[in-house]
Structure 1
Amino acid sequence: MGDLINAIIMGIVEGLTEFLPVSSTGHLILTADLLNFTGERAKTFEVVIQFGAVLAVLVLYRQRFASLLNFKFGKGSGLNALHILLALIPAGVCAVLLHGLIKQYLFGPQTVLIGLVAGGILMIVADRVRKKPSAEELDDITYKQAFAVGCFQVLALWPGFSRSGSTISGGMLFGASQKAAAEFTFIVSVPIMAGASGVDLIKSREFLTMADLPLFLIGLIAAFVVAMVAVVTFINLMKKIKLSWFAYYRFALAALFYFIIL
């Protein structure tokens, strides 16, 4: 029963934090430490529940994903698969080249703490020096802005930096509104998260057993349901509050992280 409760808690944490600019990695490490839910089995579980969060975005933006193959060029062409590809290339190339080094050297409490603080500083900078939006809506995002978001996504390879935090900041610095940058981040996150989690899952397949199936399914479902609510709520918040508020939360989390784990 204890493991099932842990699965629900971890699934909720994953769903709440995966697409918010607050670092799901930092929250999962902190939560797992508090629950004493660690080891290779727990790491494999964390990979599985990420698919629940990915599925939530696929469901919420299913019509948008279906329309990505509608290629039109020029002003007002709308979002298409080329935007996504341009945003994927920088982080994708770096992830392939540096995957082993990242797993070996960067997945630890100290590096996550650094990522939380550095990512928060980037978000405050983006809030204060951002341009007047030239892309108010998702379909207004240009290829140049898409590639810029992709370059900022490279920062998310550092655990704790936050994929959504770095990409939303990058989008804002290159002229996208908070809302447009957030929605673009959600869509771009699906292929890169699915790919990265898929690779990790294959490498961790020895830790997958039928006995753990209920545990993994409960965590995945919890992450899916909570992520659905979190994404819709976050998009509405992006219309009302500044990105900096999430940065201040990150600083508070970093302090908590320091005193509890370090």
Structure 2
Amino acid sequence: MHYWVAIILGMVEGLTEFLPVSSTGHMILTADLLNFTDEKAKTFEIVVQLGSILAVVVLYWRRFLSVLGWERQRVKRPRLNLLHIILAMIPAGVLGVALHGVIKQYLFGAQTVLIGLIAGGILMIVAEKLPRRTTAQSLDEISYKQAFGIGLFQCLALWPGFSRSGATIAGGLLLGTTHKAAAEFTFLVAVPVMVGASGLDLLKSYQNLSMDDLGFFIAGFITAFVVAMFAIVSFLKLLQRFKLTPFAYYRFVIAVLFYFFILR
């Protein structure tokens, strides 16, 4: 059962990290149901999150090389570059570092996650319903202004339960990108942001790690990595067909479950 807990939580993390449904909310709910809520559980969540991040790196390795300038362009045309990523990282990066202690101390609770689930779902519905003019059909057509604007929306994800992908994809739509362009940009920006945040958390909680738990953590990491790869590919196909609205309604269902299983 020890390893089944790691595999189940790894699956939940891999499935939800890049979907606009809040991986934090799902992990808290699942961990509570599995009675895995001690300090070691918090460290485990950081480790499996790194597994999900690795999935993006593997799937988009060519794009990362291009962004870093390590892949020669055959055709000279406007392309997504490192400045786009930096501009999108700045708002949440600055705010996250400044408020890291406050967020961890006061916002990582069941009630705040419940609020984040509902508020994020409402934003996603609004982004789908409002009329807009699409100016970026693909990832390479995203402007610096749109990149920075998406970064501002990413700040909303500092509130647990809001969902990074939900906030940034909705923000991208409101700023004139397509669903696919916003989603892929979200994946790319998530890597440095999540590595930084997870690395900071890991430095503060590494004392919870021990050699006895190595197999448990590896099982969760590998599971999250494999599941996240399938989840990312499947999500892009679903997003093209169903848009954000079904995911918003799903968030409301999770919020109800969160209320009855965690808050009551």
Task: Provide the TM-score with structure 2 as the length reference.
Answer: 0.96
Tell me which stretches of 4 or more aligned residues in structure 1 moved more than 6 Å: none
Counterpart of 1:41 in 2: which secondary structure? helix
CA contact 1:91–1:151 (8 Å) conserved in 2: yes
Q: Aligned equivalents of 1:132 and 1:53: distance in 2?
A: 33
Corresponding position: 1:23 with 2:22: yes
Q: Aligned equivalents of 1:33 and 1:132: distance in 2?
A: 43
CA contact 1:130–1:174 (8 Å) conserved in 2: no
Q: Aligned equivalents of 1:50 and 1:130: distance in 2?
A: 35
Q: Deviations over 1:27-78 (max 9, x none)?
A: 0000000000111001000000001000000000000000003499xx9511
Residue aligning to 1:127: 128
- For structure 1, the residue ranges without an aligned partner over 5 or more in a row are none
Counterpart of 1:134 in 2: which secondary structure? coil
Q: Aligned equivalents of 2:244 and 2:164: distance in 1?
A: 14
Cα shift at 1:3 = 1.6
Q: Aligned equivalents of 1:76 and 1:94: distance in 2?
A: 33
Q: Aligned equivalents of 2:131 and 2:213: distance in 1?
A: 47
Residue aligning to 2:260: 259
Q: Deviations over 1:5-31 (max 9, x none)?
A: 000000000000000000000000000
Q: Deviations over 1:162-189 (max 9, x none)?
A: 0000000110000000010000000000
After superposition, where does 1:70-85 map in structure 2 within 5 Å? 70=69, 76-85=77-86
Q: Deviations over 1:212-250 (max 9, x none)?
A: 000000000000000000000011112111211100000
Residue aligning to 1:183: 184
After superposition, where does 1:1-262 map in structure 2 within 5 Å? 2-70=1-69, 76-262=77-263
CA contact 1:130–1:172 (8 Å) conserved in 2: no
Q: Aligned equivalents of 2:179 and 2:16: distance in 1?
A: 18
Q: Aligned equivalents of 2:243 and 2:159: distance in 1?
A: 24
Counterpart of 2:241 in 1: which secondary structure? coil
Indicate the percent of aligned positions where both proteins have the same amino acid: 65
Cα shift at 1:101 = 0.3
* Residues 1:41 and 1:79: Cα distance change in structure 2 (over 3 Å): same
CA contact 1:132–1:175 (8 Å) conserved in 2: yes
Q: Which amino acid aligns with 1:142?
A: S
Q: Aligned equivalents of 2:210 and 2:131: distance in 1?
A: 48
Q: Which amino acid aligns with 1:60?
A: L
How many residues are matched?
A: 259
